Amino acid sequence: MYDLIITGGTLVDPAQGISEKKDIAVSRGKVVEVAESISSSGAKREIDASGKIVTPGFIDIHTHVAHDITKLSIDPDAVCLPNGATTVADAGSTGELNFMGFKRYVVDRCQTRITAFVNVESLGMVEFNDSPSNTDQRWPMLITAVDDVLAPLFVNRKNLLSVLRGSRGTIVGIKWAHHGIKLLEITRQIADEAPCRVMAENHFMPEALKYLRKGDIITHAYHFHTNRVNNRRDGLTEDGKTIHPEIFQAKKRGVLLDVGHGKGSFTWRVAALALEAGLEPDTISTDLWIGNVDGPVFNMPTTMSKFLHLGMALERVVEASTSAPAAALGLSGTLGTLEVGATADVAIFKLLEGRHPLVDVLGVKKMADRLIAVTDVVKGGKVVKSAAD
């Protein structure tokens, strides 16, 4: 007796190299069979996925979901899970001072599976809100003041290491964000001691690359805005025409590129330039927070659709949203795949044909001919969204 059978859909599971019609059987929260045809007579519930794409649940590795702990955060159960993101990583909303509150009141209570990059800054991102300047606080200016001389005062190495080591089941690394280069140097030192991976925002390039190792993640990969600290466009490209050669070297040594769309960090111009140069994202993520959930980001499927429009194959878009982020977070085999024995996290979606407006952070509109629209979601074997309901 199966708990659930998903029938008739096209399974796209890059971890297994599958892109063909398959049925999937689920029992006790795990995938127990994948075959061309599975009888539904012995199943408690069936989802008919005919004409749809069936994939592992999406894994969004850059979100802000410390709901009611930090002002900038969204409710993942309301925004992420219904749109197919069964697993998310919070990208530094909390630091060592407030992480345990986040874990107790959000991570341990949400239906969405949550992992976290803890912020190198002890307070995390407590100052951020959806005001025009993203904060109405003045004290954060001290962090990057006078060549970062005060920056170390915002980090407690001993306590951060204690939190990292005590919460390895939830914490997947350290986040460096909105800071000067001095805090990235400190982040590197702590990550080496922990040890753990680093998620670094795409700033101070190419100087910042000397602090990043194999398995570390550069997020906000395709931004084209001016850094308020060094007053220059300091990401993959400074002139919008050429990419720093050091970026290619970093990719060769295993540093990962993540989208981290956000309110200000995805432009069609830089994304197209990068993809033309062979710099497709290793992972697709949203950077969802209250400042972009109503646009231009909206959700994971919309962000994925933008890369379909840029010419990435559907299988590569799915890979960058499932198995690749699972590998980046050290979760391969359990998540990001629907192979037998894996956790039964499933996203089922239609590819809507037509003309669909998609907008970058500068307001530039593109008309896409395909849009990913999630109809059904299964998390840990439990149906949490169904087109039939």
- 140 pLDDT higher than 90: no
- 1 pLDDT higher than 90: no
- To the nearest whole percent, how much of the chain has pLDDT over 90? 91
User: SS3 of 342, please?
Assistant: coil
As a whole number, mean pLDDT of residues 328-341 equals: 97
Q: How far is CA 45 from CA 5, 30, 56, in A?
A: 6, 15, 19
Question: Measured between alpha carbons, how far is 43 from 344 in angstroms, rounded to an integer?
Answer: 15
The whole-number pLDDT of residue 53 equals 98
The full DSSP string for 174-218 is EEE-S--HHHHHHHHHHHHHTT-EEEEES-STTGGGGG--TT-EE
Q: Confidence band (pLDDT; 50, 70, 90) for 229?
A: confident
Task: Provide the residue type at 350 as one letter.
Answer: K
The whole-number pLDDT of residue 359 equals 98
- 144 pLDDT higher than 90: no
The whole-number pLDDT of residue 205 equals 97
Task: Provide the residue type at 342 as one letter.
Answer: A
Closest by CA to 201, choosing from 235, 241, 166, 245, is 235
- 261 pLDDT higher than 90: yes
What value does the mean pLDDT of the chain take? 96
| CA dihedral of residues 194, 199, 204, 205 (deg, nearest 10) | 110
Q: Confidence band (pLDDT; 50, 70, 90) for 242?
A: very high
As a whole number, mean pLDDT of residues 312-328 equals: 98
Q: Confidence band (pLDDT; 50, 70, 90) for 14?
A: very high
The whole-number pLDDT of residue 41 equals 87
Task: Provide the residue type at 101 as one letter.
Answer: G
Q: Confidence band (pLDDT; 50, 70, 90) for 146?
A: confident
All residues at 6 or more sequence positions from 179 whose CB lies less than 8 Å from its CB, including other chains: 120, 121, 143, 144, 148, 151
The pLDDT tens digits of the residues spanning 55-107 come to 999 999 999 999 999 999 999 999 999 999 999 999 999 999 999 999 999 99
Name which CATH class applies to 4-54+346-385: mainly beta
As a whole number, mean pLDDT of residues 43-59 equals: 97
State the chain's maximal CA–CA distance in angstroms.
Answer: 70
- 389 pLDDT higher than 90: no
Q: Would you say 89 and 329 are in contact if contact means Cβ atoms under 8 Å apart?
A: yes
As a whole number, mean pLDDT of residues 154-178 equals: 96
The whole-number pLDDT of residue 170 equals 98
Alpha-helical regions (H) of the chain: 76-79, 99-102, 157-166, 181-193, 245-252, 268-276, 300-309, 314-319, 323-328
As a whole number, mean pLDDT of residues 120-146 equals: 90
The whole-number pLDDT of residue 335 equals 98
The whole-number pLDDT of residue 178 equals 83
- Cis preceding linkage at 296, omega within 30: yes
The tokens for 323 are 């198995």
User: What would the 3-class secondary structure string for 280-316 be?
Assistant: CCCECCCCECCCCCCCCCCCHHHHHHHHHHCCCCHHH
Q: Confidence band (pLDDT; 50, 70, 90) for 388?
A: confident
The whole-number pLDDT of residue 230 equals 83
As a whole number, mean pLDDT of residues 302-315 equals: 98
Q: Where are the domains of the chain?
A: 4-54+346-385, 58-328
What is the second-level CATH architecture of the domain 58-328? Alpha-Beta Barrel (3.20)
CA angle 222, 228, 230 (to 5 degrees): 90
φ/ψ of residue 124, rounded to 5: 65, -135
- CA gyration radius for the chain? 20
pTM: 0.97
- 369 pLDDT higher than 90: yes
The pLDDT tens digits of the residues spanning 180-225 come to 999 999 999 999 999 999 999 999 999 999 999 999 999 999 999 9
- 227 pLDDT higher than 90: no
The whole-number pLDDT of residue 377 equals 98
Query: Which residue matches tokens 């109809």?
Result: 375
Neighbours of 59 (CB within 10 A): 31
Question: Measured between alpha carbons, how far is 151 from 145 in angstroms, rounded to an integer?
Answer: 8
